[in-house]
């Protein structure tokens, strides 16, 4: 066995084209793409210099002139030599490594030029006492490529490159290779280079060099050990998703939060706990998900059904007449459709769900401010103002977003009657009604016949835990109105997965009821925890979130930033809501008990610090 030494030479494979990055690699080779304002290759060379590398051999091909110009003969104190791959269009990295075989005469660090990583991680490869070392990371579904298994000591037992991963390959317990390795001289001279020669002589120029590693591991003469890197600290830049993840991790926390706020979702791809968007984390159950997965091939390949079939499926799940239902791609699609098929002034209590105000627009919008400090809707005052302004549509969200307060059902019935006498339709958004203490007594969905001017709207995405599927429905006894909304929607507005969810839902209604009960328990725990924090006023919630006001010298936006910076937690500040001093308010979604506790701990610690001085918006 060789004695461990620190390598002073690196081999960097940079000949590829990077086709999956689209336009980004038409004007620049992939190694020169900037991640967090620095080219990948420049970052790599700086990292290598920091661990004592003195010479680098870069195998180039695609746009090699730009790489030579950007790096030169010396960069970051490293002497650079270039090896040209004329056949980069038709060959793979095994060929690039073979071209550099004359430089495989001493211990080397072997790297692909599209890997972005935290520089300190390189040192972990150098701490192994001897032998070959490959960087790996616990496999996840976002990863693609070669994986290994290892024994408890870190010795690599098996390597599975892409050709040896069948459709049913079990990735559990595997580690993805990072494509950064420390290779020792004895192995290079006695086994790797001869194997490379044999592979190229056999015409296998389109292979990956991992196939050579695999055979070496199977022979067992030279040991390979793994050093495990955290998945969030390295990135293989194959496409724009990889690039986005790398940019995110390598920027400061304020920039990260700005990025998350810009994309409005898909937060599961980032290391963040999302208390900003609204979920039912206890539904759908595993059985429903498995049923969806079983039909996945059909759901992807085939067109979904249109409105009539969707309404029939929703009717079976909801217990409502199918002729009174319109089904859509989430509640937001219905909101826009409602605005298009109605005319005249629209009155909306504020603060409320911004999508309504944004969809109605200033020409038709009449805001009705909820009274402080209760934020409770006075239905008589709303009806009176609707009469004064000649409103044709009144929109009430109950429980409201962001206040989480429900309007008593008796008040809603009275509001329906008063608006009917004024020729005004009531749109009642019941997206969160299932989280109320007694949903059956709170909802008006079963009273459509008594209130012809009532339209119920519900976003199923939030309450059924299917934000990614997108489902919502509208219900009314006014079938002409329902038909008008249906006619305004695209013929295939709901995807096949969402349709299949509707088809499966009746089997799992008991699970749904239990899930809402669990949400209520965790929400109430969150509420009581917030009440106990000094400097916070919390409103008793009816939905799956809690609205709080920060009292004293604190600003909600600053606190939201600090919760993300120090606790990796997102909450929704209300600065963008139609409410005075919105920057003092936060909307906090309830998650699991453990996640809620972590949030409470963070808020208690941060609010105890008086540094969050009030920032009054300009």
Q: Helices 509-531 and 593-607: crossing angle, nearest 10°? A: 20
Strand partners, 138: 175
- C-alpha 96/C-alpha 85 separation (Å) is 7
What is the value of pTM for the model shown?
0.88
Q: What are phi and psi of 189, to 5 degrees?
A: -75, -40
pLDDT of 611 higher than 70: no
Positive or negative CA dihedral for 189, 193, 198, 201? negative
Contact 419, 425 (CB under 8 A): yes
Identify the three-state secondary structure at position 266: coil
Provide the token pair at 219: 């022979």
Q: Confidence class of residue 487 from pLDDT cuts 50, 70 and 90?
A: very high
pLDDT digits (tens, 9 = 90+) for 271-297: 899 999 999 999 999 999 999 999 999
pLDDT at 614: 42
pLDDT at 610: 55
pLDDT at 3: 45
pLDDT digits (tens, 9 = 90+) for 170-179: 999 999 999 9
pLDDT at 430: 99
pLDDT at 368: 98
Nearest to 43 by CA among 82, 3, 20, 70: 70
pLDDT at 4: 58
> In sequence order, what DSSP letters do the residues of 536-554 get, joined into one string?
EEEPPPSSSEEEEEE-SS-
Positive or negative CA dihedral for 523, 524, 527, 533? negative
pLDDT digits (tens, 9 = 90+) for 546-605: 999 999 777 899 999 999 999 999 999 999 999 999 999 999 999 999 999 999 999 999
Nearest to 44 by CA among 109, 119, 100, 96: 119
CA torsion 179-84-240-112 (nearest 10°) is 10
Domain boundaries, the chain: 9-242, 273-280+511-607, 286-506
Q: What is the CATH number of domain 286-506?
A: 3.40.640.10
pLDDT at 542: 99
9-242 and 286-506 share one fold: no
Identify the three-state secondary structure at position 432: coil
Average pLDDT, the chain: 94
Which CATH homologous superfamily contains domain 9-242? Spore Coat Polysaccharide Biosynthesis Protein SpsA; Chain A (3.90.550.10)
Share of the chain above pLDDT 90, in %: 88
Question: 69-73, 269-273, 286-290, 456-460: which has the minimum mean pLDDT?
Answer: 269-273
pLDDT of 360 higher than 60: yes
pLDDT digits (tens, 9 = 90+) for 426-435: 999 999 999 9
pLDDT digits (tens, 9 = 90+) for 236-267: 998 888 899 899 999 999 999 999 999 999 99
pLDDT at 586: 98
Question: 56-65, 451-460, 472-481, 547-556: which has the minimum mean pLDDT?
Answer: 547-556
Q: Confidence class of residue 128 from pLDDT cuts 50, 70 and 90?
A: confident
Name the fold adopted by 273-280+511-607. Answer: 3.90.1150
């Amino acid at each position: 066995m060789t004695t461990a030494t620190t390598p002073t030479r690196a081999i960097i494979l940079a000949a590829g084209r990077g086709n999956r990055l689209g336009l980004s690699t038409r004007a620049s080779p992939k190694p020169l793409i900037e991640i967090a304002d620095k080219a990948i290759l420049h970052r790599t060379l700086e990292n290598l210099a920091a661990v004592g590398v003195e010479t680098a051999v870069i195998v180039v091909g695609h746009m090699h002139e730009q790489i030579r110009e950007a790096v030169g003969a010396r960069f970051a104190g490293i002497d650079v030599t270039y090896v040209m791959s004329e056949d980069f269009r038709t060959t793979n990295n095994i060929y690039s490594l073979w071209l550099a075989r004359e430089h495989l005469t001493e211990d080397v660090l072997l790297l692909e030029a599209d890997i972005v990583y935290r520089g300190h991680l390189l040192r972990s490869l150098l701490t192994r006492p001897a032998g070959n070392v490959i960087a790996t990371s616990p496999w996840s579904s976002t990863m693609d490529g070669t994986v290994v298994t290892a024994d408890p000591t870190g010795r690599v037992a098996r390597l599975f490159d892409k050709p040896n991963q069948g459709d049913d390959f079990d990735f559990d317990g595997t580690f993805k290779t990072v494509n950064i390795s420390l290779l020792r001289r004895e192995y290079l001279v006695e086994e790797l280079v001869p194997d490379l020669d044999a592979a190229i002589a056999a015409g296998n120029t389109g292979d990956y060099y991992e196939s050579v590693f695999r055979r070496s591991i199977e022979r067992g003469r030279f040991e390979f050990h793994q050093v495990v890197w955290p998945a969030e600290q390295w990135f293989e830049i194959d496409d724009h998703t990889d690039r986005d993840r790398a940019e995110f991790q390598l920027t400061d926390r304020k920039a990260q939060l700005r990025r998350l706020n810009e994309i409005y979702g898909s937060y599961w791809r980032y290391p963040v706990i999302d208390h900003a968007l609204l979920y039912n984390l206890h539904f759908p159950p595993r059985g429903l998900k498995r049923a969806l997965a079983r039909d996945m091939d059909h759901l992807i390949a085939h067109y979904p059904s249109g409105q009539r079939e969707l309404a029939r499926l929703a009717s079976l799940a909801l217990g409502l007449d199918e002729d009174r239902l319109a089904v859509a791609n989430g509640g937001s699609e219905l909101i826009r459709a409602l605005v298009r098929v109605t005319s005249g002034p629209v009155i909306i209590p504020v603060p409320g769900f911004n999508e309504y105000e944004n969809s109605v627009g200033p020409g038709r919008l009449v805001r009705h401010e909820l009274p402080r400090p209760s934020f409770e809707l006075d239905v008589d005052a709303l009806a009176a103002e609707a009469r004064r302004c000649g409103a044709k549509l009144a929109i009430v969200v109950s429980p409201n977003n962001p206040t989480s307060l429900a309007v008593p059902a008796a008040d809603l019935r009275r509001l329906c009657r008063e608006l009917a006498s004024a020729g005004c339709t009531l749109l009642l958004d019941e997206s969160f009604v299932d989280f109320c203490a007694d949903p059956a007594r709170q909802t008006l969905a079963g009273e459509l016949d008594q209130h012809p001017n009532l339209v119920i709207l519900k976003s199923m995405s939030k309450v059924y835990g299917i934000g990614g599927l997108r489902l919502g429905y509208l219900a009314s006894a006014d079938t002409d109105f329902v038909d008008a909304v249906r006619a305004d929607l695209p013929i295939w507005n709901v995807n096949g997965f969402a349709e299949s969810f509707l088809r499966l839902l009746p089997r799992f209604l008991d699970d749904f009821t239990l899930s809402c009960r669990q949400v209520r328990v965790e929400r109430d725990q969150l509420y009581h925890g917030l009440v106990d924090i000094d400097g916070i006023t919390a409103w008793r919630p009816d939905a799956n979130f809690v609205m709080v006001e920060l009292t004293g010298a604190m600003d909600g936006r600053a606190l939201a930033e600090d919760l993300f910076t120090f606790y990796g937690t997102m909450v929704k500040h209300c600065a963008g809501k139609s409410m005075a001093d919105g920057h003092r308010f936060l909307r906090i979604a309830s998650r699991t008990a453990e996640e809620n506790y972590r949030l409470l701990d963070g808020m208690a610690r941060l609010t105890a610090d008086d540094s969050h001085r009030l920032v009054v918006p300009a």
